[in-house]
């Protein structure tokens, strides 16, 4: 059956909870697909209210009201809205379908999906993967947890499109039929325990990236991270492991100064380490993951290398800022969990002064 066949919202009452980027994308998509849409948010005002109302979306601000949710035929959650909120829990108990924005959008995509998750490194790997595939001549749309919400990509999706999607645990926990052709789990460590009740609940959300895969799909996994490999234990998909330290007979490894894909007796050089312009050895693992995906897609090694040579990293991710009186300043404010911060600090030698802040989300 063609993806999305049989799923229609025409004439249905749809409520979207949360008016951030993903919620707005979902509301606009639902309106274009013929639903009667209400976008609900706890804030008293939102910047996009006028545009939404012009598109036919009813904007309800100041809180999620029981009457609105109880009257819905479908409820779609933005990633930032916890599914255990009382008004949402009561709707689910009443038999009203509740799904996430990622799930909604994926039902209408015509192209294949490469989904990338992990506790750290998602944005770097997603961006680099998208650029490698573009360099290899593929039609690519990058988004999800970065850039455009997946809902905003649906109208551009064709059978030739490859969607490279960064997926968070908040997005994955709201999926039911989401089916990546390639699912990448970079690493796993405790995080977001201010949202997930337990580490096990967080792990279960991450593992949903593999839930609907088949034997013709791929799981790309970090062999140096046993926790992430364990989460894919029951996935029926083919495996492609990558490792910075293990001598894998089959997988993507480091051989001297080159990232190489091994397959039995075959050896394919992919990217020389001399082309990497990123600070921090741990980011080599992200490059390896992107190269692993690109090799599955069939991107030539020269296109991978050219992409890596031109990639100097993302804003706020070990981003060089300036040097004053011999002191180098580096911005790694994207490291919002303990493991990511630890890896960043370990990227430098002695004499490092760390400026930390933010909200504790659990972990040791």
Q: Which residues are catalytic?
A: 122, 145, 192
CA distances 98 to 15, 58, 168, 204, Å, are 10, 19, 18, 18
Q: How many CB atoms are located within 10 Å of the residue 158 CB?
A: 10
CB contact at 8 A, 96 and 73: yes
User: Would you mind telling me the total number of residues written for the chain in this entry?
Assistant: 364
CB contact at 8 A, 101 and 80: no
Q: At what angle do helices 283-297 and 122-135 cross, to 10 degrees?
A: 40
Of 318, 316, 314, which is closest to residue 128 (Cα–Cα)?
314
C-alpha–C-alpha distance, residues 287 and 124, integer Å: 8
Handedness of CA 333, 337, 341, 344 (dihedral sign): negative
Q: How many CB atoms are located within 10 Å of the residue 156 CB?
A: 14
Would you list the DSSP string of 139-156? EEEEEESSSB-GGGGGGG
CA distances 141 to 20, 38, 42, Å, are 20, 28, 31
C-alpha–C-alpha distance, residues 117 and 139, integer Å: 21
C-alpha–C-alpha distance, residues 193 and 165, integer Å: 23
CB contact at 8 A, 242 and 294: no
Of 132, 118, 114, which is closest to residue 285 (Cα–Cα)?
118
DSSP structural state of residue 274? G
The two three-digit tokens of residue 321, written as one number: 């800022």
H helices of 115-208, in order, are: 122-135, 169-172, 199-207
Bridge partners (DSSP) of residue 133 are none
Largest CA distance in the chain: 65
């Amino acid at each position: 059956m063609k993806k999305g066949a049989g799923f229609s919202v025409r004439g249905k009452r749809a409520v979207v909870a949360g008016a951030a980027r993903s919620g707005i994308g979902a509301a606009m998509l639902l309106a274009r697909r013929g639903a009667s849409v209400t976008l609900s948010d706890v804030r008293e005002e939102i910047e996009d209210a006028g545009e939404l109302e012009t598109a036919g979306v009813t904007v309800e601000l100041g809180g999620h009201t029981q009457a609105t949710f109880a009257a819905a035929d479908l409820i779609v959650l933005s990633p930032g809205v916890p599914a255990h909120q009382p008004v949402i829990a009561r709707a689910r108990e009443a038999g009203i379908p509740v799904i996430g924005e990622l799930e909604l959008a994926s039902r209408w995509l015509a192209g294949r999906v490469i989904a990338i998750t992990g506790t750290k490194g998602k944005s770097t790997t997603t961006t680099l993967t998208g650029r490698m595939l573009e360099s290899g001549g593929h039609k690519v749309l990058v988004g999800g947890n970065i850039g455009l919400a997946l809902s905003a990509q649906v109208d551009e999706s064709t059978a030739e499109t490859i969607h490279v999607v960064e997926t968070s645990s908040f997005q994955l926990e709201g999926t039911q039929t989401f089916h990546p052709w390639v699912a990448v789990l970079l690493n796993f460590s405790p995080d977001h325990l201010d949202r997930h009740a337990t580490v096990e609940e967080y792990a279960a959300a991450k593992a949903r990236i593999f839930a609907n895969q088949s034997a013709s799909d791929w799981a790309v996994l970090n062999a140096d991270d046993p926790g992430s490999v364990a989460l894919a234990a029951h996935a029926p998909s083919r495996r492609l492991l990558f490792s910075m330290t293990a001598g894998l007979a089959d997988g993507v490894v480091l051989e001297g100064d080159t990232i190489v894909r091994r397959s039995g007796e075959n050896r394919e050089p992919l990217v020389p380490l001399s082309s990497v312009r990123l600070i921090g050895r741990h980011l080599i693992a992200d490059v390896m993951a992107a190269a692993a995906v690109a090799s599955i897609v069939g991107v030539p090694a020269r296109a991978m290398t050219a992409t890596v040579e031109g990639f100097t990293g993302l804003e706020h991710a070990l981003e060089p800022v300036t040097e004053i009186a011999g002191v180098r300043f580096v911005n790694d404010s994207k490291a919002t969990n303990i493991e990511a911060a630890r890896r960043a600090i370990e990227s430098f030698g002695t004499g490092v002064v760390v400026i930390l802040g933010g909200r504790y989300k659990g972990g040791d």
